[in-house]
Structure 1
Amino acid sequence: MLRFRGWILAVGMCLGLVAEVGAQVKLPSIFSDHMVLQRDKPIAVWGWDAPGTEVTVSLGDVKASAKANEKGKWQASLPAQKANAAGQTLAVQGTSAKKFTDVLVGEVWLCSGQSNMEWSVADSINPKEEIARGSHPLIRHIKIPHRPSDKPETDVPSRGWEAATPKTVGSFTAVGYFFAVNLRKDVDVPVGLIGSNWGGTRIEPWTTPEGFKSVPALKGIADKLDTFPTKDAKGNINMQTPLALYYGMIAPLVPYGIRGALWYQGESNNGEGMLYHEKMKALINGWRTLWNDEAMPFLFVQIAPYKYNSVHLPYLWEAQMASSKIPGAGMALTTDISDIKDIHPRNKQEVGRRLALIALARTYGKAELVHGGPVYKAMRGELDGKVRITFEGAANGLKSRDAKAISHFTVAGADKKFVPAKAVIEGNDVVLSADGLANIVAVRFGWNELAEPNLANKEGIPAYPFRTDDWK
């Protein structure tokens, strides 16, 4: 009996030794060679190892340590670092060692949404030229693969970070890449882009539970979060239902440090009108809570004019305009760079440039930059029956971007029947009139899914569609 007990003890010791030998320190795939870490914020580094293991993390001369908990999870925090364009090594030592080389410190932006954000450099205008001049070693990109989930994932497989070269840049998110190229003209630091996006997706699957709960108008979703995401009869997750892509494609990235988010989405929610604004609030609130940054910049892109064969798009634009007024949010305008026959306008260069203008003005201290187009401010009646429209974002004046008469203004009287208006620029205002209409009570501008108006500010950024009425 004693001999048997001794055998059991020996086997147990051997198994323990094997488990210890087999243990190794692991990190999620967001950590790889060539990554960019967010400057001026504590750097979270996390992973897994044998329970109780002391794990040490070092970057250059700075170190931090953490102990793996009973489930093997550990998280260390390196002190905030200044931008560094010289590749360093991030070393992790636990039961085994991991090293990541060519690690930069700079600005990191999450690039999310549907197909217009996933759209690649290779599919944008002038692809051969853009790829040929794609050597930007301080711009890095990581693509998160499509993966819905029914629970918050801790990791997601990926190819890791890649530096921009003519061999790699063709597959980068075009909007993110051109944003980074323009940003670096004024902010001379490395830029990292996290491409977590999926064509055709709605906004709801990207939103967190906390986000839904933060918006009273979405109580119908918030009250039944335990039923999401839904699955079909075979157990396949419906990637278009709430939480599915937050669980699978956003949760694994947290708490990797980022400066802010770029968002290009809305086509798949067209038809919801101002409800989309409520969903944008939920998305922004949720992501800011995730990253523990209530002022995190959230910059997004206006959905471009396109032949949807419906009346819904202007009401989505109205929701996007309301969302642009959320503190810390900003919107790049697109009515002049659209293709009404293609839901994927190819001019992602200008989209990226306009997003960079907003970031430079709002996030990087260059407040003097004009970074938006004319936005409706007020309507005032004139003595001769005309009306005067005043704008914000037109301090240096207005112009017709094609030198033709100002287009796409309509006006209505008390009968609510809209007719084309004659529009004349007077300084920073537009004065409207219509033959046979002596009392204008409502104005609409660009209020059609196919409208590509020519009104712009002196800097060439187009005016945003608007209406002064709330008629159904």
Structure 2
Amino acid sequence: MSCAAACIFPPAAPAAPIPARVFSDHMVLQRDMRAPVWGWAAPGETVTVSFKGQTVSATADSGGRWRVDLAPLPASAEPAQMRITGDRDTGGGGVVISDIVVGDVWLCSGQSNMEWQVSRSDNAAAEIAAADFPLIRHFEVSREPVTMEPKKTYDKWMVCSPATAGDFTGIGYYFARDIFRRHNVPVGLVNSSWGGTGIETWMSEHAILADRSFRITFYKWIEEITAYPERLAAYDRALANWKSDAAKAGAAGKKFAKQPPRPPESLYGQNKPARLFSAMIAPVIPCALKGAVWYQGEHNAGRPDGYGALLSAMLRDWRARWGQGDFPFVIMQLPNYKSGDASSIKWARLREEQERVAKTEPNTELVVMIDLGNPDDVHPTNKLEAGLRLARTVRARVYGEPIEHMGPAFARAEAEGAGMRVHFSHADGLHAKGGGPAPGFEIAGADREFVWAPARIEGATVYISSPKVAKPVAVRYAWRNAPETDLYNKAGLPAAPFRTDDW
């Protein structure tokens, strides 16, 4: 049941109030901040929520929606019960939600690499067999591309065990396990992800229409979507004619034309702009969160320009709607993937857009995964290392642990002799794992023609030169869809891709 749906189709005089679907047995409630509890009841009904010694009430509005806020609670692994009752509840018992623990709740959103389960990741059998962590819980938001009338079947929280862990988001599980082991606090994962989806479907219509450039594009999308049924019908007619003509030509031993192309449907179904925001994000707003993790971009990599603006708009809109201020938001930067030919840089440009958002939006972090991809498969299966890198970033930037959380980062570059010297931050123990010159560097002169160049590591700097470039003016590192990389710091974290030009 989505928030939008319930406002359009409020339950008709229920026997008991209906809580939002995230409130169910085994849930994790966010610690140390006010925790909204909301749902639907008959308009004007007084709803009372009782939990851990607190009793708070609210009156359902004309649309049937109600909300109360619980006062901040400390972390607790002790199972507790929540009771929700209405003054018009003819049954008298209300709704009872059992086995609630209090800890940290993380929203995990994006497309297929966030959706990718433990069962499909590396070493799955052994990892699942050892997954006995009852204080790690997982809630998967239903993948419903169309907002539907509320039903009495809800998504459920799953307690982590060998029987359930295989269905958890892989990256989310390994992240949660590391946080739990180090901080001994219950961790809840709210998994709202759908493979093959663009960022536009995860944005609210308000966020899209607020910017003129987005608005123009949005209306074009609407025109395309509106015209799609007729285009599909025209395709079906053309296909039928082609089959008939092909059969005749084949029978006569003649060549026949290629099959007509099917009209693209990337903006239809779950990819309609704002659709999954309404169906999969709105239903969990304003659930109290510790933070959010975003792993998306593969779908948009073919058109990277402007992705950063879309991501910033989405992030700001989400934060405003949640009403928790600038909660932590972690971006999983796209890994290496061989999309297109060897010189293609569209994925590199999208990574740059992701990095720009992390640098400009408050309380926003970036996890570099340039070495964790599979060049031949858009779905790398090493979710363990990705989850641990995510956990390291969160441990340092959210939980305040004094650890290195990022790899070598570009600081500045300058011409030096016949080459260029690049200075890095976070470069303690800078080295190439392979032991030789660091690969992945390119330099160019005023002609803007980049050539590969060997890189010599000197302290926290790298010196790059090539006899093919007498006076270099620009340098790039890992600036390909699937670049060769080998530059790390002593924490074992990879250098982030960068470029000094804007060509």
CA contact (8 A) 1:150 1:229 kept: no
Match of 2:241 in 1: none
Aligned 8 A contact 2:437 2:457 in 1: no
Offset of residue 186 of structure 1: 2.7
Given the alignment, which residue of 293, 307, 310 partners 1:279?
310
* Alpha-carbon separation, structure 1, partners of 2:354 and 2:71: 37
1:331 to 361, 366, 381: 366
Corresponding residue for 1:36? Answer: 28
In the alignment, is residue 400 of structure 1 matched against residue 432 of structure 2?
yes
Structure 2: any 5+ residue segments left out of the alignment?
1-11, 233-264
SS of 2:101's equivalent?
Answer: strand
Indicate the residue corresponding to 1:9 in structure 2.
Answer: none
Contact 1:174 1:348 in 2 (8 A): yes
Give the 5 Å matches for 1:304-343.
Answer: 304-310=335-341, 311=344, 312-325=346-359, 326-343=361-378
For the residue of structure 2 that corresponds to 1:300, the secondary structure is strand
Residue 92 of structure 1 aligns to a residue whose secondary structure is strand
| TM-score, normalised with respect to structure 1 | 0.89
Give the conservation status (yes or no) of the 8 Å contact 1:156–1:248: no
Is the counterpart of residue 239 in structure 1 residue 301 in structure 2? no
Does residue 134 of structure 2 align to residue 137 of structure 1?
yes
2:207 match: 211
1:116-135 equivalences in 2 (<5 Å) = 116-135=113-132
Provide the residue aligned with 2:393 in structure 1. Answer: 358
Aligned pairs for 1:186-201 (under 5 A) are 186-201=182-197
Alignment-derived partner of residue 419 in structure 1: 451
Query: Which amino acid is the alignment partner of residue 50 of structure 1?
Result: A
Q: State the shift of 1:227 in Å.
A: 7.7
Residue 294 of structure 1: how far off its partner (Å): 3.2
Q: Which amino acid aligns with 1:206?
A: W
**Partners in 1 of 2:125 and 2:302 — Cα distance?**
37
The corresponding residue for 1:174 is 170
1:441 maps to which of 457, 467, 473: 473
- Opposite residue 475 of structure 2, the aligned amino acid is V
Determine the structure 1 residue equivalent to 2:408.
Answer: 374
Cα distance change of structure 1 residues 462 and 214 upon mapping to structure 2, 3 Å threshold: farther
1:226-267, Cα deviation, whole Å (9 max, x unpaired): 889869549996321211000111111111111211111101
In structure 2, distance between residues paired with 1:442 and 1:238 = 43
Residue aligned with 2:269, SS: coil
- Work out the CA distance in 1 between the residues paired with 2:435 and 2:227: 54
Q: What is residue 18 of structure 2 aligned with on the other side?
A: 26
Residues in 2 aligned to 1:377 and 1:409: alpha-carbon distance in whole angstroms: 15
Q: Does 1:220 align with 2:248?
A: no
User: Which residue of structure 1 aligns with residue 419 of structure 2?
Assistant: 386
1:191 & 1:229 partners in 2: Cα distance? 40
User: For residue 255 of structure 2, what is the aligned residue in structure 1?
Assistant: none
In structure 2, distance between residues paired with 1:156 and 1:114 = 27
Deviates more, 1:307-316 or 1:78-87: 307-316
Distance 1:266 1:102 in 2: 36
Q: Which residue of 2 aligns with 1:3?
A: none
Q: Which amino acid aligns with 2:16?
A: Q
User: Aligned partners of 2:472, 2:123: CA distance in 1, in Å?
Assistant: 46
- In 1: Cα distance, 2:182 partner to 2:224 partner: 43
Distance of aligned partners of 1:212 and 1:70 in 2 relative to their CA distance in 1, 3 Å threshold: closer
Cα 1:82–1:154 change in 2 (3 A) is farther
CA contact (8 A) 1:33 1:101 kept: yes
Contact 1:398-1:455 within 8 A present in 2 as well: yes
Q: Which amino acid aligns with 1:139?
A: I
On the 8 A contact 2:451/2:468 being kept in 1, the answer is no
How far apart in 2 are the matches of 1:287 and 1:186?
Answer: 29
Give the structure 2 partner of residue 6 of structure 1: none
Question: In structure 1, what residue type is equivalent to 2:337?
Answer: Y
1:16 aligns with none
**Alpha carbons 1:28, 1:154 under 8 Å: kept:** no
Which segment drifts farther, 330-339 or 236-245? 236-245
Aligned CA distance change for structure 1 residues 431 and 157 (closer, same or farther; 3 Å) = farther
Give the fraction of aligned pairs with identical amino acids, expressed as a percent.
39
Query: Where in structure 2 are the equivalents of 1:42-191 lying within 5 Å?
Result: 42-94=34-86, 95=89, 96=92, 97-149=94-146, 158-191=154-187
Structure 1 distance, partners of 2:114, 2:171, is 6
Q: Distance in 2 between matches of 1:228 and 1:299?
A: 33
Q: Deviations over 1:426-445 (max 9, x none)?
A: 11110111124331111111
Q: Shift of the alpha carbon at 1:297?
A: 1.1
SS in 2 for 1:175: helix
* Alignment-mate amino acid for residue 359 of structure 1: V
Contact 2:140 2:156 survives alignment (8 Å):
yes
Q: Distance in 2 between matches of 1:441 and 1:164?
A: 54
> Contact conserved, 1:386 with 1:432, CA < 8 A, in 2?
yes
Q: Is the 8 A contact 2:410 2:424 kept in 1?
A: yes
- Residue of structure 2 equivalent to 1:262: 293
Superimposed CA distance per residue, residues 375-399 of structure 1 (whole angstroms, 9 cap, x where no aligned partner) = 21211122x32211011222x2311
Name the residue aligned to 2:379: 344
Letter in 2 for 1:319: E
Aligned residue for 1:301?
332
**CA distance in structure 1 between the aligned counterparts of 2:154 and 2:458, rounded to whole angstroms:** 55
Quote the Cα distance in structure 1 between the aligned partners of 2:150 and 2:415.
59
- State the distance in 1 between where 2:220 and 2:280 align: 21
Q: Deviations over 1:278-321 (max 9, x none)?
A: 11111111111110133111112111111211521111121111
* CA displacement 1:127-184 (0-9 Å, x = unmatched): 0111011111110001112112369x87895441011000000000011111111112
**How far apart are 1:210 and its partner, in Å?**
3.5
Residues in 2 aligned to 1:360 and 1:399: alpha-carbon distance in whole angstroms: 24
Contact 2:82 2:98 in 1 (8 A): yes
Distance verdict in 2 for CA 1:417–1:52, change over 3 Å = closer
Aligned-residue offset at 1:30: 0.9
Paired residues of 2:111 and 2:195 also in contact (CA < 8 A): yes
Corresponding residue for residue 14 of structure 1: none
